């Protein structure tokens, strides 16, 4: 079982579909690894032992009966707390809900149709408001590469579960970097898809134009497999995306010679990138040139996304808080954030959405014209993963200031809607992962998957925390 313990999505599905291991065996191993590895990490908030084993048994029986085998057959996955899983409470990282969800979110339904088995829900800060996975009810979630450091957030629990080898992959969400930040902090591949690529049902949107759901994985191919299983829309989605190339196919082909612009200039004023991240971008630029791409340093001429991002952030928190069963159980900082956002009326939201379109047009100038590029290369985050306790005793304003280095390169692309991926590029001298961000044209995840797979092959990274040797 050693190979299975370290297998990703593609390899686990292959082993189960080929009869080399049962779905139940894969799930029981994942549950055992959660029991063994989550002590002291705090990635898992709700464990679904009986339901997961029963679901895995059903997968085995279907396979034995000659039934259809999906691309994720028997693969154990975890789901971030903000996503509905039937029979579990959608906590949003707190205690304000108490009734289990009656049905799966559409992305979870699609994962099950593809053959995946849901084994657990994962920790997050309440409503995903800040990029540190810490909460009053769930406590502190720790980075498996250094337990004194944060795994980032808000999809920190999922990142830790995957990075520590508890499961092959898990679902997160990204409204300002919440897939890319923990991926960068924990050595994972995390792609924020094009706005509208993945349905938000049962909700028409996630934080209006900002949020989308997606997987965190240990390889590019694994991410592509999950995305191909969940992509697409349903009636009622506020946003849809264009393009129909399968991402697995994109990850398996050569990207061709691309024009790649790189910059370490942060979007957020007053933020300075750590030299480790500057070197990572420069080293990646040299590698890309060696791989035959046209690579040059550029000035992306970033627009300021603040006036578009901040109202949608507050509106998203307020909308989710208005829907919980027990408002009084929300964390003090969350209730403060709710009050501070009282100025965000529907008229303000409508204005922010118009500004999002303007910001998107300006941000996408980097891809336009004869001097435009196909892909933008930047740091994923500005700082090294800080020590845990970043939210201890601080209110909304101080927490927001502490979040700035995490979102300095990420949040713009939530406003603009473009696909953007955090790609691991090894370990720094401090023993923590290093990552870069690749940003693509509108609707062009395919190029990011192809280029990321090429970089992954040229520069493999340690896949499981503690197994780097």
Q: Both tokens of residue 405?
A: 């280095």
Q: Both tokens of residue 123?
A: 């920790």
Catalytic residues: 80, 154, 178
Please say if the pLDDT value at position 2 is more than 50.
no
- Give the rounded percent of residues in the chain with a pLDDT score beyond 90: 95
- Give the rounded percent of residues in the chain with a pLDDT score beyond 70: 99
Contact 141, 151 (CB under 8 A): yes
Please say if the pLDDT value at position 1 is more than 60.
no
Rounded Cα–Cα distance for residues 199 and 144 (Å): 31
> How large is the average pLDDT for residues 304-320?
97
> How large is the average pLDDT for residues 201-213?
95
Average pLDDT, the chain: 96
Q: Both tokens of residue 50?
A: 């009986």
CA atoms within 13 A on the CB side of 338: 17
Instruction: Read off the pLDDT band of 4 (50, 70, 90).
Output: confident
**pLDDT tens profile 129-161:** 999 999 999 999 999 999 999 999 999 999 999
Instruction: Read off the pLDDT band of 240 (50, 70, 90).
Output: very high
> How large is the average pLDDT for residues 316-321?
96
Q: Which domains does the chain have, with CATH numbers?
A: 129-458 (3.90.1300.10)
- 46 secondary structure, DSSP code: E
pLDDT score of 141: 98
Please spell the DSSP secondary structure of 292-361, one letter per residue.
T-EEEE--------HHHHHHHHHHHHHHHHHHSS-GGGS-HHHHHHHHHTTT--HHHHHHHHHHHHHHHH
Contact 13, 226 (CB under 8 A): no
**pLDDT tens profile 282-297:** 999 999 999 999 999 9
pLDDT score of 469: 35
Instruction: Read off the pLDDT band of 6 (50, 70, 90).
Output: confident
pLDDT score of 64: 95
**pLDDT tens profile 76-128:** 999 999 999 999 999 999 999 999 999 999 999 999 999 999 999 999 999 99
pLDDT-wise least confident of 1-15, 171-185, 346-360:
1-15
pLDDT score of 467: 63
Residue 117: in which H helix or E strand, if any? Answer: strand 117-122
CB burial string 28-60: b at 16+ within 10 A, e below: bbbbebbeebbeebbbbbbbbeebbbebbeebb
Better pLDDT: 369 or 38: 38
> How large is the average pLDDT for residues 295-307?
97
CA atoms within 13 A on the CB side of 145: 32
> How large is the average pLDDT for residues 218-243?
97
Instruction: Read off the pLDDT band of 45 (50, 70, 90).
Output: very high
> How large is the average pLDDT for residues 161-182?
98
């Amino acid at each position: 079982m050693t190979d299975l313990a370290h297998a990703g999505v593609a390899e686990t599905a292959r082993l189960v579909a080929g009869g080399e291991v049962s779905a139940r065996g894969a799930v029981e191993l994942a549950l055992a690894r959660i029991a063994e590895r989550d002590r002291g990490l705090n990635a898992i908030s709700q464990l679904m032992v009986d339901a997961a084993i029963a679901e895995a048994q059903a997968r085995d029986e279907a396979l034995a009966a000659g039934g259809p085998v999906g691309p994720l057959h028997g693969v154990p996955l975890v789901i971030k707390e903000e996503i509905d899983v039937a029979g579990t409470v959608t906590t949003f990282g707190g205690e304000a809900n108490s009734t289990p969800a009656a049905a799966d979110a559409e992305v979870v339904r699609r994962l099950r149709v593809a053959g995946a088995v849901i084994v657990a829900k994962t920790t997050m800060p309440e409503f995903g408001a800040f990029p540190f996975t810490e909460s009053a009810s769930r406590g502190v979630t720790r980075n498996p590469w250094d337990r004194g450091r944060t795994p980032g957030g808000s999809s920190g629990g999922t990142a830790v579960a995957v990075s520590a080898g508890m499961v092959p992959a898990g679902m997160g969400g990204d409204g300002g970097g919440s897939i890319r930040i923990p991926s960068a902090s924990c050595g994972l591949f995390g792609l924020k898809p094009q706005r509208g690529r993945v349905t938000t049902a049962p909700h028409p949107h996630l934080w209006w134009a900002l949020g989308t759901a997606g997987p965190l994985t240990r390889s590019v191919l694994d991410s592509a497999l999950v995305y191909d299983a969940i992509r697409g829309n349903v009636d009622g989605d506020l946003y849809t995306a264009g393009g129909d190339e399968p991402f697995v196919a994109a990850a398996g082909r050569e990207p061709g010679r691309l024009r790649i612009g790189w910059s370490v200039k942060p979007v957020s004023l007053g933020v300075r990138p750590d030299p480790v991240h500057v070197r990572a971008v420069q080293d990646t630029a040299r590698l890309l040139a060696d791989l035959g791409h046209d690579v040059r340093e550029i000035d992306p001429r970033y627009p300021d996304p603040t006036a578009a991002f901040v109202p949608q952030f507050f509106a998203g928190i307020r909308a989710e808080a208005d829907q919980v069963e027990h408002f009084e159980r929300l964390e003090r900082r969350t209730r403060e954030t709710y009050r501070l956002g009282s100025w965000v009326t529907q008229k303000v939201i409508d204005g922010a959405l118009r500004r999002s379109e303007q910001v998107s047009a300006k941000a996408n100038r980097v891809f336009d014209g004869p001097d435009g590029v196909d892909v933008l290369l930047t740091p994923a985050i500005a700082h090294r993963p800080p020590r845990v306790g970043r939210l201890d005793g601080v209110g909304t304003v101080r927490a927001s200031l502490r979040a700035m280095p995490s979102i300095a390169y990420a949040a713009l692309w939530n406003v603009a809607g473009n696909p953007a991926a955090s790609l691991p590029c090894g370990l720094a001298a401090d023993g923590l992962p290093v990552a870069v961000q690749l940003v693509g044209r509108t609707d062009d995840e395919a190029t990011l998957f192809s280029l990321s797979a090429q970089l992954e092959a040229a520069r493999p990274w340690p896949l499981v925390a503690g197994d780097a040797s």
